[in-house]
Structures are given as structure tokens and as C-alpha cells.
Amino acid sequence: MNTIKTTLLLGGLTLLLVYGGAALGGEQGMIFAFIFAVAMNFGAYFFSDKIVLKMYGAREVSEREYPRLVQTVREIVRRANLPMPKVYLVPSSQPNAFATGRNPEHAAIAVTEGILSLLDEEEMAGVLAHELAHVNNRDILIGTVAATIAGAVSMLANMAQWALIFGGGRSNERSGHPAVMIVMMIVAPIAAMLIQMAISRTREYQADATAAALIGSGLPLARALSKLQKGAERIPMDAEPATAHMFIVNPLSGSGMMSLFSTHPPIEDRIARLTGR
């Protein structure tokens, strides 16, 4: 069900981009939008992991430095039949973790300094299993594609604004109808953001379920999520909103955030699914 929902949401996001391009510039705009999306996805696919790791000052760690951490990752990848990813440490007191990389062969798992002192061994295994589930389920690629297309839609909306300013509100085949362009400017970026966030929430539920299957129980991850949420609310993190969806709990966490505008499902719902309550 989560896979079907993700496919439908990605399809809707792509259609929004292509038809937004058509509204902006007719057939030529639609072709431009499609080519632009392909080019952006290509760049994001190959370089997003390096960019994100550098953004958060992550450094690769060895088994000699953090034996339990690396050994736990090694055990989970053995169970999941995955290649061993690189393990990184992020210099942040907020307890959190994320996975990145374009595929299982080029994956990386990053944990913050804060998470190491907060979770016990079972809870850490649950978190690492969740991140490796993202790798196994190709969620990193899905999230990157969704974020890229949503960004392209926003860029098209900005182009529509400038086209209206310099086009003088005239309607023609190349620039599109002014009324349609105004709708594109207002509605399309909001719709793209909502779809992107819905995709992110769907993949979080799937990663939780996969993690529970990998370690044989959802209880350790449920306990970890409760601790991490409280830690994220208590300890701020200098995180970029564009990468917030990558973390196991929202690093910009706010319990009052509307669910439609959140990159993560409510922690209470995730815990309920993991514990069967």
C-alpha cells in the first residue's frame, strides 16, 4: 500500500511539473520543464550525498573508533543482505540520524554525537535498521526526486511571475494564458510541497515497518523515537529545511506543526504502528 501511494504521489508531482510548464509556455514550456526535471534529477542522483554530508560537517568513522556502532550496522546489513555503507558522525548535540547515497552500493549512514549518549544498544539498532531500511527501499532516491521536482515547480512559478511582469498580461501560445499563469504561481508550489511531504511521510512509515522486521520487533525503535522526539524539541539543530525529510525525526521539530505541512508522520502514530496499539 505504501509503495502504491508513493508511486501515485510521484506521478502527481511529475504531472504538476509538466503541466505547469505547459501553462507557462505551452508545448515549449512543457518540454523545457521535462528536460529541466531530468537534468536536476541527474545531478541530485549523483551528488546529493556528498553535499548533505559536507553540509552537516559529517566525518567518516572507523570500527576502531566506534566499535559498537559500526558492528551494529554490520549485523543489520548482513540480515538485510545489503552492502556495508560508510558510517559518519555529525557534530551535533541533537539526537538524530539520517541515511544518504544514490543506491545501496554508495550509501552512507550518519548519526549525531547526541544520539550516541541517549539510546541504549537495542534502541540504536532500531534507529540504524530504520536508516538502512531507507537504503534498501530506495527512499533516498525517491526523496531526492520528489524534492527536485518540487523545487522545479517553484522555479516555474517564479518564471511565471516574471513572464506576467514583462509580458504585460497578454495571452499567447508561447507565454500561456495570464489567468492560468496566476493559478500556477499560487497553487502549484503549495501543491508540490504538500505532495513532497506526503511522499516523505509515507516512506517513513515504510522504513519503520522494514526496521521492525529486520530486528524482529518494533518496540526498540518505538522507544527510540519517543526519546529522539523529546531530544529534538529540547536541543536545536542548525538544519536546512530542504534536508529535514532525511532525518529519522524532524530536526526542526515542532509539535504544533500541521500534519499536512510536516515531512514526518506524528511520532505518536509511528509508535502506535510499531507497538500494535
| 29/19 Cα distance (integer angstroms) | 9
> Is the CB of residue 220 less than 8 Å from the CB of residue 228?
no
Q: What angle do CA 171, 174, 175 make, to 5 degrees?
A: 50
Burial class (CB in 10 A: 0-12, 13-18, 19+), 35: exposed
> Of residues 65, 121, 131, 204, which has the active-site annotation?
131
Phi, psi of 216 (to 5 degrees): 90, 0
Around 139, how many Cα atoms within 13 Å sit in the side-chain half-sphere?
Answer: 28
Q: What is the number of alpha carbons within 13 Å of residue 127 lying toward its C-beta?
A: 29
131 is catalytic: yes
- Please identify which residue in the block is written with the cell numbers 559529517: 58
The residues assigned a catalytic role are 131
